[in-house]
Structure 1
Amino acid sequence: MVELVLEEKDAGDWIYRGEGGLNIVLAYSGSSPNFIGKVLRVRKVKRNGSEFDKPPSALSTHECLIWEGVGDLLSASTKDIVNHMYAKHVMSPLLGSQHVDPGVRVHVTKEFLELVHNGVLFKRPSWRVDNARVNTLHDSALLMSDHSIFPHGVHGEEFCISVEIKPKCGFLPISRFIRDANSAKKRISRFKLHQILKFHQGKISQISEYDPLDLFSGSKPRILKSIKDLFLTPQNNFRVFVNGSLIFGSSGGEAEDTDSQIAESFEETLKNIIQAEDGLRTPKFLQLVGEAVFKSGIMDRLVEVQKLDSFDIEGAIHAYYDVVGQPCAVCRELGEGKVSSKYEELHEISVDESLKIVRDFLVASTAKDLSLMIGFRGRGKGSRESSYDVVCLESSNQSFDYKASFIDLDMKPLEKMPYYYKLDQEIVSCYTRMMETVNRPEKPLMDTSYQEQLTAIEDTSQT
């Protein structure tokens, strides 16, 4: 196989699609058959003086223990290659190879990356620009299928409309290692609890009605409700593309809540896609998405991977400290006399058992933070047999090919486990403090609408 190389002359064919914390995603707009229907993930580097540091080493000593014997992970020379192999050897078998494209590494020159950096600068959110830039010292990038289009469809007359959803965690934990003071985690989804902390921190302007438990429920009405809730408050959890171009949601941060102007614009964009009168196209499209989620059964497979985290972070953090050979900071924080026997039991299990607990937690964490792409392509009457699954939108008498794929499957760093534990405790304690405030109306510390939202969350958890 001829090695693919992207050089200075190729930079103009790659356009900004979006970005996350570690990578910028570029879509291809040229004519080379090697790249049509592909996206490129290029690595970023923080603007904090580390811009010219060497690429990070692949795995730490303790990570080598965790991932020993898994594919070729230990032979990887960089974190990028680790993530590629992790998607291929760990996540793809668990989620289904038909839903995962781990991609291929391609060589990129420094000149190519410099031109890409300059070319996307004004497309990126300003806070992303302030935080990080393209890492021009990397010599490779990851070439993957563009799940927002069907192969070769973007250059023909047919359209492809696709949605990107970040489902988040779709089950309530039942781990016996969750402390009684944190029992809200067993009643209310992690996403709903985290929304309260984000609102309190000023990171979001409104608490989303979306609840992952609806999306994962297997109930068509609840799935449809979850899609509608995502549409109304997309934040960074819901985006829509037509032929690969973003038409709804944010390209690299929190999207605005959907107001009438945004809704009208989206309705107009659907004019040649969904056959319905004005004002009815958006509801029918959201129904189409819900139908595909329900029919595919893909959420069942995803939640099984998420449930590999059977100990919760409150249990897994103890196994973590044993794996890294450090005194348990959580037990120290709890203090002598308050450390439950069940935590002491965790520190007495074998090293292999501790490694498995941590490994399963990290895999589940990837599954809780990935994105789901569902692409749709219209089918006319008498269309040929399709190699794709078909979903029917009976209310508009239309049929669509659809495909569902998982993206953003990077390995979670072992070193972040103390952070995960700290964030978990912040989320629950914020909820607890806010509920105490709601129950003490003589000392209002928040506006009425926020009180109503909190009460509604608690009420929902009781049903």
Structure 2
Amino acid sequence: MEIILEEKDAGDWSYRGEGAVNLVLAYTGSSPTFSGKIIRVQKVVKNGSMEETERSVLSKHESILWKDAGSIVTSPNKEIAEQMYVQSVMIPLLGSEFVDPGVRILVSRGFLESVERDSLSKRPGSRVKAANVDCCADSVMLMSDHSVFPQGASKGAPCITVEIKPKCGFLPSSSFMADENAIKKNATRFKMHQVLKLQQLKVQQLSKYDPLDLFSASRDRIHEAINALFATPQNNLRVFLNGSLIYGDLGGTKFDEIEAFEDHLKSFIHEENGLRSFVHLIGEAILKLGVLDRLLEIQKLDKIDVEGVIHAYYDIVSQPCKLCKKFGENQQSGKYSSLHSIPVDESLKIVRDYLIAATAKDCSLMISFRPREDDDPESHYRTICLGSTKQRFDVKAYFIDLDMKPFNKMEFYYELDQKIVNSYKQKVGVEHEAANKGTIEGYETGY
């Protein structure tokens, strides 16, 4: 018999977190069917246009874009289309070992309305302002809770999980970037975006995290990247103990959070400086599993940068290119003529690869650790030894938030890119001007 979650079941699901598209709820009830599971509940934009809120699956151009990608185009609803995208596009690229596509289960409207009421006080204010739970949906995605090992948190050894949003791990080198935006070849997108977020009051301070360090395959640089994430987690790092959040997004002061977190680590890592050892453990997992190598390959499908891709987009939608019109007859417009002369199939591939890369740049990586005793039976998981304490840990990793990026947001992606670059160039210009005037002393650059 097919499972349907009703209003009476809502109390068994607890708010875990959310992204731009979904709420994540973890199961807290007693049913073996859902033990160690989460659900992803779709959201709908507040005060959106009909185009944003209508329940169509794919647009006309998206149907053309993904026509050769499994059953995405024939999916009866958005939830199944997203699941097919993960199965048909992301799993072949990332590997089935590291991706859980989930299964769709039915829900009642009463269940979704109850979830919305119960989670309201736990959601960040900015998320509440932007979107509601989509109470018109008829299904949610059921997945394993990757913050715990199977069998749930109540059995066996404790489990500690780090969730990292790596972001883009390379610098673009495309010849299609405008000459005045050459700074993109030297500064990471993450670093530049931090400046804009600070101006918009979306972050309280600039993070020193550098994605290039995390993707470097150098132990020292990986440790530096992880330490920077712990210093300023923002929405790029969270840590769970047996499925419960113990670091990141807790709303307390940084000192209180890190002190409480180190107390938790003392029962997990047998060393006084547990945080340092935990950072080393995460680094060893990243190196041994090779997960970021795969992710970087997919990110690099974006070969020509959004400043090139936007021209292919206008050809696909059969519109005059707004960028070429803006440039007019100046020297830069000539560099884009080659993009407008290629067959439409090549334009489709350019945009498709860009959107797949965008998924890889915006996903999260969950890495879980569980202590193993010497007399434990052979584990199904890979094992990592922490040299400083001689402890052994089972380790597993999964990518999450592998959402399909909408084709109709290509103009938005381009405009955001330009806004990010311009805000960063402005900041650099202010610093250079201050330095030239001899007033840089005492100027807070954030780096």
**TM range, smaller chain:** over 0.9
1:217-259 Cα distance to aligned partner (Å, 9 max, x none)? 01011111111000000000000001111111127xxx77x73
Question: How has the CA–CA distance of structure 1 residues 365 and 448 changed in structure 2, closer, same or farther, with 3 Å as cutoff?
Answer: farther
Alignment-derived partner of residue 249 in structure 1: 248
Query: % of aligned pairs identical?
Result: 53
Gaps of 5+ in 1: 454-463
Structure 1 residue 429 corresponds to structure 2 residue 429: no
Alignment-derived partner of residue 105 in structure 2: 106
Taking structure 2 as the reference length, what is the TM-score of the superposition? Answer: 0.95
TM-fit CA distance, 1:127:
2.8
TM-fit CA distance, 1:443:
7.3
Alignment-derived partner of residue 302 in structure 2: 309
Alignment-derived partner of residue 376 in structure 2: 383
Question: How has the CA–CA distance of structure 1 residues 446 and 318 changed in structure 2, closer, same or farther, with 3 Å as cutoff?
Answer: farther
Structure 1 residue 95 corresponds to structure 2 residue 106: no
Alignment-derived partner of residue 445 in structure 2: 451
TM-fit CA distance, 1:4:
2.1
Alignment-derived partner of residue 459 in structure 1: none
Give the whole-Å Cα distance in 2 for the aligned partners of 1:448 and 1:316: 41
2:116 alignment partner AA: H
2:256 alignment partner AA: Q
Structure 1 residue 145 corresponds to structure 2 residue 147: no
Structure 1 residue 347 corresponds to structure 2 residue 379: no
Alignment-derived partner of residue 374 in structure 1: 367
5 Å-filtered alignment, 1:35-50, equals 35-48=34-47
**C-alpha RMSD over aligned residues:** 2.0
Alignment-derived partner of residue 458 in structure 1: none
SS at match of 1:395: coil
Alignment-derived partner of residue 172 in structure 2: 173
Structure 1, 38-47 or 341-350: larger mean CA deviation: 38-47
Alignment-derived partner of residue 404 in structure 2: 411
Alignment-derived partner of residue 260 in structure 2: 265
SS at match of 2:153: helix
1:56-97 Cα distance to aligned partner (Å, 9 max, x none)? 211111111111121001111222221111011101110111
Does structure 2 conserve the Cα–Cα contact (< 8 Å) formed by 1:57 and 1:77? Answer: no
Question: How has the CA–CA distance of structure 1 residues 451 and 123 changed in structure 2, closer, same or farther, with 3 Å as cutoff?
Answer: closer
Report how many residues are paired: 445
Give the whole-Å Cα distance in 2 for the aligned partners of 1:151 and 1:443: 61
TM-fit CA distance, 1:49:
7.2
5 Å-filtered alignment, 1:16-95, equals 16-48=15-47, 55-95=54-94
Does structure 2 conserve the Cα–Cα contact (< 8 Å) formed by 1:370 and 1:407? Answer: yes
Deviation above 6 Å: which 4+ runs of structure 1? 442-447
Does structure 2 conserve the Cα–Cα contact (< 8 Å) formed by 1:46 and 1:133? Answer: yes
2:38 alignment partner AA: V
Question: How has the CA–CA distance of structure 1 residues 386 and 128 changed in structure 2, closer, same or farther, with 3 Å as cutoff?
Answer: same
Question: How has the CA–CA distance of structure 1 residues 82 and 444 changed in structure 2, closer, same or farther, with 3 Å as cutoff?
Answer: farther
Give the whole-Å Cα distance in 1 for the aligned partners of 2:107 and 2:308: 43
2:72 alignment partner AA: L
Structure 1, 76-85 or 106-115: larger mean CA deviation: 76-85
Alignment-derived partner of residue 394 in structure 1: 387
Taking structure 1 as the reference length, what is the TM-score of the superposition? Answer: 0.92
2:389 alignment partner AA: S
Gaps of 5+ in 2: none
Structure 1 residue 121 corresponds to structure 2 residue 116: no
1:101-139 Cα distance to aligned partner (Å, 9 max, x none)? 010110001111122122212221233223322221111
1:365-410 Cα distance to aligned partner (Å, 9 max, x none)? 0000000000111101222111111111111221100101000011
Give the whole-Å Cα distance in 1 for the aligned partners of 2:409 and 2:14: 32
